[in-house]
């Protein structure tokens, strides 16, 4: 046997082994199937050449020669199909693409039936000098060069369009593999070199090797499935693909390491059979997967659950997500993704513990704030009661001194009694207000949503505010200017004591801002399109912008040790929670600040 014969035998054997091993791996993409088809066509071509080397019978030679012609035509067409699928990044071959095989199939049929019409060979012989070619031979040869040219153009255009160095290397590998048989055929056709009939298939062996490196080593012809696989790997530690009958048809390495040996969950194994082989303490993992697998199939929706797994290293938690896989609107299987959430659960547990500690600290802080708020809001009525008591003591002394005085008439006694009754009535109102304050604060601590609902007018509100702050205004040399622009009979829905607390806080702060120099404090009530507004305007020094952002936050004050930071905070909470409104502050152009309270006008909606 010649050296060429040995090369043909070895090449055919290696190629056959490669094709079989690739098919046994399974999970072939469209491009991989086409590539292995081209390798199969070359293998048949080589087998036909080997057969021609071992026989001299004209009839057998003619059949084997027809096989080589058919394989050549189908091989180059398959390479063209690979280039189209690759450059268009298609997952599967479109149906209309298969029509490209009509011409090669027809020419192959004509070659096999050549003795009936002599379109391919006018005269066939095993000796090249005696062969006379027909018209179809020329067309078939041109067909080969045209298809090869199309492949080169398609790949070069793709490389120019992508402008990526790595892609150019891949395209160069693909084109270089095709140029070897193309130049070999050109040399044979032009009779530049006298080559044997085995030269072309051996040249195509270089093509198959180059394209094989591209398909299986660089994997650029299978980029979309690889990208999807990498994506699933990134979002889950392990995953498995289950068929509709609960068979594991594929799983990644991470899944096999976690569940493969411990739970017998391997490729081509059925979940309902696996559970029978496992020990009882491990069966719950399979039972849960089976149960949620059935739910996913029936609902055709994504299903998630959590699975705890006991290992020698400890207890691990996995978040399992089952996603239905639909093919032409029919359920083909389920993708099960397992994500390790053990660290996440531990982190959540730590955060929960920290949150509990923080809530306890906040509870203690809130208790202190509430005590400070009660003190802050009871200070004014207590001072008012103290002042009223002092006045009553003066009246009592005056009354005692008047006993037996002939100049003091009955009317004078009545006037003193009426004045005492007035101050007592004011003391009763202050005590009622203090009682309401305590009740309100207690209610806020128990449930912010509860309140004693009612209705009140701005005039009633202003009357109470003036009574409680009369002493503070006089002490600081301030004068309250009231402007009520609301229509007569316009009422506000809510608890009047809550609103008194808010307006008192604002006017009290205005007095503090003007301490030592006095001035006017304006209280204005007016209506906008959909709301009722109240404004407290002072002539103080104003408020810096960085302080404005913090004013209504708990425990923030600009008064140093003289303030608690609770007045504006509690006022903002009352307006928001009790009245559904809002409170804010603006600087005045001529100095000082204006605090606004906006309430929804329910009468206007």
Which CATH number belongs to the domain containing residue 170 in this structure?
1.20.1070.10
Q: What is the pLDDT of residues 491-508, one digit of tens each?
A: 888 888 788 888 988 988
* Residues 552 and 537 both lie in one domain: yes
What band does 537 get if pLDDT is binned at 50, 70 and 90? very high
Last residue of a domain, one of 175, 198, 222: 222
* Residues 253 and 208 both lie in one domain: no
Q: Which of 46-50, 327-331, 366-370 is predicted least confidently?
A: 366-370
* Residues 179 and 305 both lie in one domain: no
Q: Between these two residues, 183 and 398, which has the higher pLDDT value?
A: 183
Q: Measured between alpha carbons, how far is 384 from 378 in angstroms, rounded to an integer? A: 10
For the chain, what is the domain count? 4
Q: What is the pLDDT of residues 146-157, one digit of tens each?
A: 998 999 998 888
Does the pLDDT at position 385 exceed 50? Answer: yes
How many other C-beta atoms lie within 10 A of the C-beta of residue 258? 20
Q: Measured between alpha carbons, how far is 364 from 568 in angstroms, rounded to an integer? A: 20
* Residues 211 and 140 both lie in one domain: yes
Q: Which of 159-163, 214-218, 302-306 is predicted least confidently?
A: 214-218
* Residues 564 and 532 both lie in one domain: yes
DSSP-assigned letter for residue 319: E
pLDDT of 358 reads: 62
Does the pLDDT at position 529 exceed 60? Answer: yes
- Residue 534's alpha-carbon distances to 10, 485, 594, in angstroms, are 99, 10, 10
* Residues 10 and 159 both lie in one domain: yes
Q: Measured between alpha carbons, how far is 319 from 239 in angstroms, rounded to an integer? A: 11
What band does 563 get if pLDDT is binned at 50, 70 and 90? very low
Last residue of a domain, one of 307, 340, 373: 340
Cβ contacts of residue 95 below 8 Å, gap of 6+?
none
Closest CA to 566 of 481, 509, 496: 509
What band does 559 get if pLDDT is binned at 50, 70 and 90? low
Mean of the per-residue pLDDT values of the chain:
80
What band does 162 get if pLDDT is binned at 50, 70 and 90? low
Residues 25-52: what's their mean pLDDT? 85
* Residues 435 and 461 both lie in one domain: no
Closest CA to 107 of 61, 63, 73: 73
* Residues 48 and 183 both lie in one domain: yes
Q: How far apart are the first and last CA of the chain?
A: 105
253 is in which domain, residue-wise? 236-340
Q: Which of 308-322, 388-402, 545-559 is predicted least confidently?
A: 545-559
pLDDT of 564 reads: 47
* Residues 401 and 521 both lie in one domain: no
Residues 383-404: what's their mean pLDDT? 81
Q: Residue 519: helix, strand or coil by DSSP?
A: strand
Residues 287-291: what's their mean pLDDT? 89
* Residues 213 and 67 both lie in one domain: yes
Percentage of the chain modeled with pLDDT above 70 = 83
Residues 230-238: what's their mean pLDDT? 66
What band does 535 get if pLDDT is binned at 50, 70 and 90? very high
Closest CA to 468 of 480, 451, 450, 486: 480
* Residues 26 and 130 both lie in one domain: yes
Q: Between these two residues, 486 and 249, which has the higher pLDDT value?
A: 486
Q: Measured between alpha carbons, how far is 446 from 237 in angstroms, rounded to an integer? A: 47
Model confidence, pTM: 0.41
What band does 65 get if pLDDT is binned at 50, 70 and 90? confident
* Residues 91 and 159 both lie in one domain: yes
């Amino acid at each position: 046997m010649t050296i060429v014969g040995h090369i043909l035998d070895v090449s055919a054997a290696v190629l056959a082994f490669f094709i079989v091993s690739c098919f046994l791996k399974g999970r072939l993409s469209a491009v991989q199937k086409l590539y292995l088809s081209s390798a199969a066509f070359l293998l048949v071509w080589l087998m036909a050449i080997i057969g021609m080397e071992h026989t001299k019978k004209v009839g057998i030679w003619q059949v084997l020669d027809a096989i080589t012609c058919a394989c050549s035509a189908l091989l180059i067409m398959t390479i063209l199909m690979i280039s189209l699928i690759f450059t268009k990044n298609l997952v599967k071959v479109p149906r209309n693409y298969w029509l490209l095989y009509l011409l090669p199939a027809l020419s192959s049929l004509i070659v096999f039936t050549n003795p009936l019409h002599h379109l391919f060979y006018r005269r066939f012989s095993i000796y090249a000098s005696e062969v006379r070619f027909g018209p179809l031979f020329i067309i078939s040869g041109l067909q080969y060069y045209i298809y090869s040219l199309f492949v080169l153009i398609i790949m070069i255009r793709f490389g120019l369009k992508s402008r990526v160095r790595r892609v150019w290397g891949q395209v160069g590998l693909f084109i270089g593999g095709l140029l070897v048989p193309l130049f070999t055929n050109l040399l044979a056709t032009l009779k530049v070199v006298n080559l044997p009939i085995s030269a072309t298939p051996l040249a195509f062996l270089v093509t198959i090797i180059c394209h094989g490196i591209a398909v299986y080593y660089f994997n650029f012809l299978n980029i979309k499935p690889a990208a999807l696989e990498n994506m699933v790997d990134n979002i889950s530690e392990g995953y498995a693909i289950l068929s509709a009958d609960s068979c594991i048809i594929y799983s990644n390495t991470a899944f096999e390491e976690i569940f493969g040996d411990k739970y017998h969950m391997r490729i081509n194994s059925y979940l309902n059979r696996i559970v029978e082989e496992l020990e009882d303490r491990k069966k719950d993992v399979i039972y849960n997967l089976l149960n949620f697998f059935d739910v996913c199939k029936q609902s055709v929706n994504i299903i998630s659950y959590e699975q705890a797994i006991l290992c020698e290293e400890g207890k691990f938690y996995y978040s399992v997500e089952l996603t239905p896989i639909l093919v032409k609107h029919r359920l083909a299987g389920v993708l099960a993704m397992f994500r390790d959430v053990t660290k996440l659960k531990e982190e959540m547990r730590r955060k929960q513990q920290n949150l509990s500690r923080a809530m306890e600290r906040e509870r203690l802080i809130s208790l202190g704030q509430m005590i400070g708020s009660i003190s802050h809001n009871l200070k004014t009525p207590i001072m008012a009661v103290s002042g009223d008591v002092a006045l009553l003591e003066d009246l009592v002394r005056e009354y005692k001194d008047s006993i037996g005085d002939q100049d003091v008439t009955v009317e004078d006694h009545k006037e003193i009694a009426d004045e005492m009754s007035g101050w007592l009535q004011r003391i009763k109102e202050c005590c009622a207000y203090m009682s309401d304050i305590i009740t309100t604060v207690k209610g806020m601590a128990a449930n912010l949503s509860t309140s004693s609902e009612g209705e009140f007018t701005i005039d009633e509100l202003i009357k109470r505010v003036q009574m409680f702050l009369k002493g503070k205004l006089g002490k600081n040399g301030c004068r309250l200017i009231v402007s009520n622009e609301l229509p007569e009979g316009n009422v506000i829905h809510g608890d009047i004591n809550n609103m008194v607390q808010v307006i008192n806080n604002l006017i009290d702060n205005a007095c503090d801002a003007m301490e030592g120099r006095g001035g006017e404090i304006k209280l204005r009530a007016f209506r906008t399109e959909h709301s009722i507004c109240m404004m407290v305007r002072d002539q103080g020094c104003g408020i810096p912008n960085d302080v404005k952002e913090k004013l209504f936050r708990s425990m923030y004050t600009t008064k140093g040790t003289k303030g608690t930071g609770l007045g504006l905070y509690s006022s903002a909470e009352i307006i928001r929670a009790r009245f559904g409104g809002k409170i804010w502050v603006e600087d005045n152009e001529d100095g000082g600040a204006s605090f606004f309270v906006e309430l929804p006008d329910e009468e206007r909606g």
